[in-house]
């Protein structure tokens, strides 16, 4: 039974992660957030829910006790987030705290949410690969560059295997729902494809100490190149935002 701590479990992505992992018989979850009301559905299960403010190092130490793997999703997800008002505590201090606590508690693997915002200043008609230098467009993107740097440090200096997933435009888009911009179509990531990527990241073997994975779907034009991600963890995305939006490559 693998024991997994999920931080930010009450967020949009966190709830999806909790639901998909909660159905796996070989995983026991510790779901952590500052908003426990969204986690009430797990109250009478064998999974645990706890209050956690990741800006509190002592609380992170306690939350990661007796845990095998951590999925760190907590933080302010807004590209417009204010640095001093939010990002410094939640994304900067929170990231360091959860890595520090996980290493101190002998966690075997960290999977952390990064973002396509780390490279958002590249022209929209260019495709970014895993070796492209970071180029954030806002301070939220800067905070996610920090996330990747912290993950790399703990992997190569302190021996904590780490995976950073650059999450694109995560959405449960439906054909009759809201429309997507051209940028969001190129960076689109369906919940189904993210689940595939996450599950394969959890079980992947023979990875380097630190990996950056590109979390977007199989869109006709891809903001992020996913070939290296496919090779590393066997990622097999199936969704295509352009197809979902009814855009044909050639009109007949």
Q: Which of 203, 199, 177 is nearest to 188 (CA)?
A: 177
The answer to whether 164 and 147 have CB atoms below 8 angstroms apart is: yes
Label the pairing between strands 109-115 and 27-33.
Answer: unpaired
Q: Domain for residue 211, yes or no?
A: yes
Q: Domain for residue 172, yes or no?
A: yes
Q: Domain for residue 249, yes or no?
A: no
CATH number, position 110: 3.40.50.720
Q: Domain for residue 120, yes or no?
A: yes
Q: Domain for residue 250, yes or no?
A: no
Token pair in block for residue 44: 């009478």
| Residues forming a β-bridge with 115 | 167
Structural domain including 9 reads 2-244
Record the pTM: 0.94
The 10s digit of each residue's pLDDT in 19-68 is: 999 999 999 999 999 999 999 999 889 999 999 999 999 999 999 999 99
User: For the chain, what is the domain count?
Assistant: 1
Token pair in block for residue 157: 């200096």
The 10s digit of each residue's pLDDT in 71-100 is: 999 999 999 999 999 999 999 999 999 999
Q: Domain for residue 239, yes or no?
A: yes
Q: What angle do CA 56, 112, 45 make, to 5 degrees?
A: 75
Max intra-chain CA distance, the chain: 63
Q: How far apart are CA 229 and CA 234, in angstroms?
A: 7
Q: Domain for residue 251, yes or no?
A: no
> Tokens 């009759």 label which residue?
176
Q: How far apart are CA 179 and CA 185, in angstroms?
A: 9
Q: What is the predicted pLDDT for the residue at 94?
A: 98
Q: What is the predicted pLDDT for the residue at 175?
A: 52
Q: Domain for residue 252, yes or no?
A: no
């Amino acid at each position: 039974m693998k024991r997994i701590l999920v931080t930010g479990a009450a967020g949009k992505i966190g709830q999806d992660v909790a639901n998909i992992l909660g159905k796996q018989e070989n995983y026991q979850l510790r779901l952590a957030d500052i908003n426990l009301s969204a986690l009430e559905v797990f109250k009478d299960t064998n999974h645990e829910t706890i209050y956690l403010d990741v800006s509190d190092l002592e609380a992170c130490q306690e939350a990661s006790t007796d845990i095998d793997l951590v999925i760190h999703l907590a933080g302010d997800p807004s590209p417009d987030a204010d640095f001093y008002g939010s990002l410094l505590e939640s994304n900067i201090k929170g990231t360091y705290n959860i890595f520090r606590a996980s290493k101190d508690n002998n966690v075997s693997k960290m999977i952390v949410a990064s973002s396509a915002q780390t490279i958002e200043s590249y022209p929209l008609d260019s495709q970014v690969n895993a070796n492209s230098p970071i180029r954030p467009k806002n301070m939220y993107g800067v905070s996610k560059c920090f996330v990747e740097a912290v993950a790399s440090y703990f992997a190569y200096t302190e021996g904590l295997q780490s995976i950073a997933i650059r999450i694109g435009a995560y959405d449960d888009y439906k054909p009759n729902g809201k429309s997507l911009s051209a940028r969001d179509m190129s960076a689109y990531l369906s919940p189904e494809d993210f689940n595939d990527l996450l599950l394969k990241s959890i079980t992947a073997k023979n990875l380097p100490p630190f990996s950056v994975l590109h979390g977007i779907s199989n869109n006709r034009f891809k903001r992020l190149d996913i070939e290296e991600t496919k090779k590393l963890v066997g990622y097999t995305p199936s969704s295509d935002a352009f197809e979902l939006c009814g855009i044909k490559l050639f009109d007949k």
